[in-house]
Amino acid sequence: MGAGAAQLGETIPKNQRFATLVSLMLSSQTKDEVTSAAVRKLREAVGGSLSVDAVLATNDDAVSEAICKVGFWRRKTDYIKRTARRLQDEYDGDIPKTVDELCSLPGVGPKVAIIALHVGWKIEHLSGSPVSTLTPTSESSHTTLRRSKRIKVESGPSEPRDDARSLLVKFEGLEETTLQVAVDAPATGTSKRKPATRVKREGTTSPKKQKPIKQALETPHPTPARWSEAYNAIKEMRSRIVAPVDTMGCNRAQLEETIPQNQRFATLISLMLSSQTKDEVTFAAVGKLREAVGGSLSVDALVRADDSVISDAICKVAFWRRKTQYIKQAAQRLCDDFDSDVPKTVDELCSLPGVGPKMAFLCLQDAWKLNVGIGVDVHVHRITNRLGWHKPPTKNPEETRLNLQSWLPLELHPEINALLVGFGQTICLPVGPRCDTCKLNDGLCPSARKGTTTRVKTGKAVVAAARKAGPEVEIAIETETVDSVRDPSSPLSDA
């Protein structure tokens, strides 16, 4: 049930390494059997495979519920989510290969880093330092790790030296433990003891620049058969439906502003609040925030506003505490670096706290009227996979975006998000899609109504006996028919 066992439930090497790291992060002050059970529950909660993308797509509550038996589970939920975000942004969804880079992740200390390299990357003969050797002195020597994760080597002047030293490793508020770390054998003779020096380690460079957002596939995805028929059928259905996104979507936030600069900022704020939140809740939160900061959503107003004022206004949206921090930090960045306006490129927008590619593309479309890419959310990702437009099915919204951009006509890029979001809110629901009312179920959607199962529920109906007197009889007569719809984007769709 140790850390190595966590990767046995994965088939992709990248996911095996991530599962090992997650298991080690959960193991602090927790018994192995509890950690093993938590890893298993977390894998189920994120869809059957512990990948960086799956963890990012799962809300904090689901992660917390899965790991609630381990020690410090609330803190570890935050660590796991932040670590997954760092791995996706800076390490291509994989775990780093050096101690320093691993220790830069939230909740990861030297012990976890060393074991992760042993188990995840099969790096042998590693002992506290990835490529260099610690030099013991009569005084305490320190590595160049940041202060909260510094390794302290204790070595007294009169102690006999051998080939190992005990390291007192202090994790960020989690635990203290002792490791054995190999050091150089002492030199013989009467040579003078040299003072400790800091050695620059090879291969431990930290990313200095954010990776640019990928704009196109090297090889375009083939154009799906009959896609235009399906697209036009959806447009026809949507023309008769008013969905929440039509009246309370993120593009509506700018309508309450008169200054173009504030209109663009209001659009960005609405998008930042919308993550894992219903349109009606986001719309109400934007209105309350506007009132709370004086009647207009401007960068300067948000910079001056207290965190508590912002939190009170947006407390109904998901992750409101984190979004309060993101909004304050983003407003300060816009004030300092962009003349209090919204940037005009995807990469600059994605450099803001709490802003990802989906928000960036939608913001450029609505705020600047720039058509540079498709904003793909869970609805667009789910529906296009159900329609069979991706071969093989895409695993995350970014893969979906790149596929769609490679073949969908450019003039349709700005409208497809709202079109499919509204369709997903009203007909192609995540659970229990309304295939009975959908025009695509006549050969245009391969996922439509693949089969039905009938379950019998125990209901109660009282039937009077034919004779005048006698007992009443209870019989089960209620049945329920459930439509089973296959979702190609779901890892459980073939189960």
- Over residues 90-110, mean pLDDT: 91
- Over residues 167-175, mean pLDDT: 41
Give the pLDDT confidence of 341-356 residue by residue, as tens digits. Answer: 999 999 999 999 999 9
Look at residues 121, 154, 171 and tell me which one is the last residue of a structural domain: 121
Q: Indicate whether 136 belongs to any domain.
A: no
Q: Are 377 and 479 found together in one domain?
A: no
At residue 187, does pLDDT exceed 70? no
Query: How far is CA 239 from each of CA 41, 342, 437, rounded to the nearest angstrom?
Result: 42, 32, 15
- What percent of the chain stands above pLDDT 70? 73
At residue 459, does pLDDT exceed 50? no
pLDDT on residue 476: 44
Q: Which band of pLDDT confidence, cut at 50, 70 and 90, is reported for residue 133?
A: very low
3-class SS of residue 232: helix
Q: Are 269 and 401 found together in one domain?
A: yes
At residue 358, does pLDDT exceed 90? yes
Q: Are 96 and 159 found together in one domain?
A: no
Give the pLDDT confidence of 307-337 residue by residue, as tens digits. Answer: 999 999 999 999 999 999 999 999 999 999 9
Q: Are 39 and 86 found together in one domain?
A: yes
Selected residue with higher pLDDT from 193 and 199: 193
Q: Which band of pLDDT confidence, cut at 50, 70 and 90, is reported for residue 123?
A: confident
User: Which residues are bridge partners to 463 per DSSP?
Assistant: 473
pLDDT on residue 89: 87
Q: Indicate whether 128 belongs to any domain.
A: no
At residue 295, does pLDDT exceed 70? yes
Q: Are 277 and 320 found together in one domain?
A: yes
- Over residues 458-469, mean pLDDT: 42
Helices (H), 319-372: 320-337, 346-350, 357-367
Q: Indicate whether 406 belongs to any domain.
A: yes
pLDDT on residue 211: 82
DSSP 8-state class, residue 474: E
pLDDT on residue 350: 96
pLDDT on residue 341: 97
Q: CB under 8 Å to 212, separation ≥6 — which residues?
A: 347
Selected residue with higher pLDDT from 447 and 140: 447
- What percent of the chain stands above pLDDT 90? 61
Signed CA dihedral, 206, 208, 210, 212: sign only: negative
Q: Are 16 and 149 found together in one domain?
A: no
Q: Indicate whether 197 belongs to any domain.
A: no
pLDDT on residue 195: 52
Q: Indicate whether 445 belongs to any domain.
A: no
Q: Indicate whether 208 belongs to any domain.
A: no
Asked about 358 being catalytic, the answer comes back as: yes
**C-alpha–C-alpha distance, residues 153 and 134, integer Å:** 9
- Over residues 486-495, mean pLDDT: 45
Mean pLDDT of the chain: 80
Give the pLDDT confidence of 202-258 residue by residue, as tens digits. Answer: 444 444 467 889 999 999 999 999 999 999 999 999 999 999 999 999 999 999 999
Q: Which band of pLDDT confidence, cut at 50, 70 and 90, is reported for residue 125?
A: low
Domain total for the chain?
4
Q: Indicate whether 198 belongs to any domain.
A: no
Which CATH number goes with the domain that contains 286? 1.10.340.30
What are the counts of helices (DSSP H) followed by strands (DSSP E) for the chain?
20, 8
Q: Are 285 and 399 found together in one domain?
A: yes
Give the pLDDT confidence of 43-55 residue by residue, as tens digits. Answer: 989 888 899 989 9
Q: Model-level pTM?
A: 0.54
At residue 291, does pLDDT exceed 50? yes
Q: Which band of pLDDT confidence, cut at 50, 70 and 90, is reported for residue 7?
A: confident
Task: Please give the structure tokens belonging to residue 182.
Answer: 């190999």
At residue 69, does pLDDT exceed 60? yes
User: Which residues span the domain enclosing 472?
Assistant: 451-484
Helices (H), 167-319: 227-238, 244-248, 260-274, 279-292, 299-304, 307-314
Helix H or strand E encompassing 453: strand 451-456
pLDDT on residue 137: 37
Selected residue with higher pLDDT from 289 and 165: 289
Q: Are 147 and 110 found together in one domain?
A: no
Q: Tell me which range, 176-190, 327-341, 444-458, is most confidently predicted by mean pLDDT.
A: 327-341
Q: Indicate whether 24 belongs to any domain.
A: yes
Q: Are 247 and 384 found together in one domain?
A: yes
DSSP 8-state class, residue 168: E
- Over residues 115-136, mean pLDDT: 62
- Over residues 115-138, mean pLDDT: 60
At residue 117, does pLDDT exceed 60? yes
Q: Are 105 and 252 found together in one domain?
A: no
**C-alpha–C-alpha distance, residues 32 and 24, integer Å:** 10
pLDDT on residue 450: 56
Query: Is the Cβ–Cβ distance between 127 and 117 less than 8 Å?
Result: no
Q: Are 261 and 306 found together in one domain?
A: yes
At residue 296, does pLDDT exceed 50? yes
Q: Are 29 and 86 found together in one domain?
A: yes
Catalytic, out of 288, 358, 450, 468: 358
How many C-beta atoms surround the C-beta of residue 439 within 10 A? Answer: 15
Give the pLDDT confidence of 261-287 residue by residue, as tens digits. Answer: 999 999 999 999 999 999 999 999 999
Query: Is the Cβ–Cβ distance between 55 and 72 less than 8 Å?
Result: no
**C-alpha–C-alpha distance, residues 268 and 341, integer Å:** 10
3-class SS of residue 475: strand
Q: CB under 8 Å to 306, separation ≥6 — which residues?
A: none
